Amino acid sequence: MGRLETVDVTRFEQMVLPHLDAAYTLARYLTRDRDDADDVVQEAAFRAIRYFHTLRKDNPREVRAWLFSIVRRVYMTTYADRRHTATASVSLDEPTLQLVDPHEAPDAAAEHALVRERVQAAVDRLPDVLREVVVLREVEQCSYQEIATITSVPIGTVMSRVSRARARLAVMLRGMIETGDMQ
């Protein structure tokens, strides 16, 4: 028998499980699919359980970053290569925006839903390395340093990926985003 460390169930429940929703959020935006996100998170959680004894951090932000890094590795090693092209072409061609009849005077809620649809469709079309930066930055509010740690790249690379992602989204969403100074 190989040596196996005992899993501290209570400690795992207190430190890692609170980040399961965040892990799912990341996986869902990466995979763009409910079932695939379930699979990725399950595999990542199983790995987290197995390697939990190697985790030397107890700050919640760092534990969350550790879990994110496992999620993205599971995604990148098993899904990224073969799925991107197909999914991207689907979201490019599909008229997903016709949820609201353009001739009707749209009320605020419908317009809001429309904007959300378009933002999500635009993010779906980003390549993996830009999409993950957008989700980590704008949804999970990670710092550049955290993103650098999670994605194993230098902080300068994070900076340029954030710029490239926003520049592309600005083009895709042109005419729709509020450019006035609202704050």
Q: Which of 62, 120, 148, 157 binds other proteins (CB under 8 A)?
A: 120
Our CB check for other proteins shows the closer of 99 and 177 to be: 177
The DSSP secondary-structure symbol of 77 reads: I
- Is 68 near other proteins (CB under 8 A)? no
Q: Which of 14, 77, 96, 98 binds other proteins (CB under 8 A)?
A: 77
Q: How far apart are CA 168 and CA 17, in angstroms?
A: 34
Site track 148-177 with other proteins (rule: CB under 8 A), x = hit: -----------xx-xx--x--xx--x--xx
- Is 129 near other proteins (CB under 8 A)? no
Our CB check for other proteins shows the closer of 71 and 103 to be: 71
Our CB check for other proteins shows the closer of 46 and 92 to be: 46
Burial of 74 (0-12, 13-18, 19+ CB in 10 A): buried
Q: How far apart are CA 131 and CA 50, in angstroms?
A: 28
Nearest Cα residue to 140 out of 27, 13, 14, 16: 27
- Is 82 near other proteins (CB under 8 A)? yes
Write down the least CB distance from residue 37 to other proteins, Å.
Answer: 8
Q: Where are the beta strands (DSSP E) in the chain?
A: none
Q: Which of 14, 18, 51, 58 binds other proteins (CB under 8 A)?
A: 51
Distance of CA 169 to the CA centre of its chain: 16
Q: Which long-range contacts (CB under 8 A, 24 or more apart) does 52-57 make?
A: 52/5, 52/7, 52/8, 52/11, 52/12, 52/16, 53/5, 53/6, 53/7
Q: How far apart are CA 37 and CA 89, in angstroms?
A: 20
In the complex, which residues of this chain contact other proteins (CB under 8 A)?
1-2, 4-9, 12-13, 17, 20-25, 28-29, 36, 38-43, 45-47, 49-51, 74, 77-79, 82, 115-116, 118-120, 123, 134-135, 137-139, 143-144, 159-160, 162-163, 166, 169-170, 173, 176-182
